[in-house]
Amino acid sequence: MLKDFTRGRYKALELIADHIKTPSRDLRLDAIILDVSDEDLKWVTERLHYYFLKLLEEAEYDTAEEDFLPGLTD
């Protein structure tokens, strides 16, 4: 999977990781409607954020040999 990372996909994953860090208002409202507690929603989003960051670390490491420089535009 990490071989499929491009600069654009890396940047997209960074964006999603930033957005998932704290649940949006819409997500919290959906959680209320679906009877998901704030505690459970927070637990899941924290874990997802952690795994997204780990994936970013691995992608950055594995693609370094291919002159991959995060932060450069496509």
Q: Please report which confidence band the pLDDT of residue 62 belongs to, taking 50, 70 and 90 as the band edges.
A: low
Give the integer Cα–Cα distance in Å for 28 and 10: 27
Confidence of residue 73 (pLDDT cuts 50, 70, 90): very low
pLDDT of residue 7 exceeding 50, the answer is yes
3-state SS string over 5-31?
CCHHHHHHHHHHHHHHCCCCHHHHHHH
Which residues touch 45 (CB under 8 Å, ≥6 apart)?
20, 21, 22, 23
The predicted-structure confidence for 17-34, as pLDDT tens digits, reads as follows 888 888 889 999 999 999
